[in-house]
Structure 1
Amino acid sequence: MKDLSVIGGGSWGTALAIVLAPRFERVRLWVYEQDLAERMRTTRRNDVYLPDSTLPANIEVSSDVHASALGAEVVLGVMPSHHARPIYTQLLPVLQPDMLFVSATKGLENGSLDRVSEVMREVIGVQFTPRVGVLSGPTFAKEVARGEPAAIVIASHDAELARAIQHAFSGPTLRLYTNNDPVGVEIGASLKNVIAIAAGVCAGLGLGANTMAALITRGLAEITRLAIAAGGEARTLSGLAGLGDLVLTCNGELSRNRTVGFQLGQGRTLDEILGGMRMVAEGVQTTYAAMDLAARLGVELPITRQMYAILREGKSPREGLRDLMDRSLKEE
């Protein structure tokens, strides 16, 4: 493969373009903000989302979404989940059946409750049946862009696509594993952000390692329940896209979702926190979608339920923690 299109110029999209640039002759990076795209072409840096990393020479930056994808062999989507449907709809005129589509977006679509790969199939499917895979795992954009070793998963029901992307994307600092359970991977990728907000709340309240260990363990349990109910496999959630990503996001200070939770635990309101952020914390909207999906599938998500009450209903973090601990006693 020679031609890669990366749709989404936030921190993760930029980091993926940087780490994958040596693997392709041509990498096109679509950036929504025209002024940012112009600066990136001049300075070779994303001064808003990833200011410390330099773009390799073969990365072409554009704010023209059609030009960014036209003729690409691989289209890698890295937009926020709530932008996925309109962006793929906008891309339709230049998409072709021989393209491979990979989603690196972590989140659920509010309203439909679709996973992003489902959104892609629905939108692109009006023209042809797309070949789709999902990319996820324990990664912070800044560390990937610096060339620190990382391991992620490419999941698809299309084994040939998964192997092709594995070989195309893997290199000295990025190792890909294949997986045939995109449902489990996408649910894990989405719900870990909700648990990460809860982890931040605990840290903001000054709670220690015992609390964090319990939160991560029980958080993984409820993510797994939802994934299985949605058609995923339990084993997926014990791997990189489940436990691996959950541990990283709950403990790493680079996590935007953990940061939101930390500030909530410190007493700030959600509006204050989000008003001061340029980057998207997917876990906030995912919390709302996850509660709707849990209701649809008949799954209990006690941690997510308390996060919903804190984020949407204004419940105090300490009250949410108390109610979580006071629930009726159960078997593990």
Structure 2
Amino acid sequence: MRILVAGGAGFLGSHLSERLLGEGHEVLVVDNFYTGQRENVAHLLDNKKFELIRHDVTFPLFVEVDAICNLACPASPVHYQRNPVQTIKTSILGSINLLGLARRTNARILQASTSEIYGDPVISPQEEEYWGNVNTIGVRSCYDEGKRAAETLFSDYRRQYDVDTKIARIFNTYGPRMALDDGRVVSNFIVQALLGKPITMYGDGSQTRSFCYVDDLITGLISLLMKEKNVSGPINIGNPGEFTILELAQLVIELTNSNSSIEFRTLPSDDPKQRKPDISKAKSDLQWEPRVQLREGLIQAIPYFEARIASKT
């Protein structure tokens, strides 16, 4: 297949592109490099089945493809709150443009949605039928509501135009190629610990997250992309292992052999208190579940951050 990966120079997009090439597909990456990095895909440039185009998905794109993966949107609060209007435009206009392309080319299309559509959930674990508890006017709304609107668009294009759509709800993912200034909790803690700086803990650390290693996440996305048309989602893709943020900090300090202290700060507005996916649908519809547990995944990820820090000094 010839597969378009929007946002393919980002953390997840680059891993997805690499895996798709490894499975024999042609890959066309489009990225405006707002958060994506050319270096994430530099090792793919010599592959004759790989193509890279600088393009912003808020503008139409005219190419011929068999499948589309829409990962085009900044995903960390630091990045998406820097330009919130552009963030929500990327989710909504980008979805409209890529869905239009899918309709014209009769391509299947996968939306990388997010656990953030559940907002600050009042049930746990979160199952796909849960509608969420989201602040529509908060500082995180540009991302949360943008992704929710994108899910609506994907569902309506499926109903109205019979487009073969897939929706994956991604829970916290970590691993190599995260930016040092990514702003998400795993990369923050690892970088701070390696530099011997205090670990910044927002709130009292009792809030929970479920962390999925990138290799597992990519396997889940590809499994959904390749499924027959009647499997459309939304489907949660994440690791149901639940940890408090304080437990994560302590584990990072242990694995990096760091002397960092933990520094408590005020919890940001609308920060969810709990995240844990119900992956029953992923197990039944995709025959997928994560294999890499948090300790093992951190052991694999930490050397990448060590190398990146060393290259900056």
TM-score by length of 1: 0.43
Question: Relative CO higher for 1 or 2, CA cutoff 8 Å, sep ≥ 6?
Answer: 2
TM score, norm. by length of structure 2: 0.45
Structure showing the higher helix proportion among its residues: 1
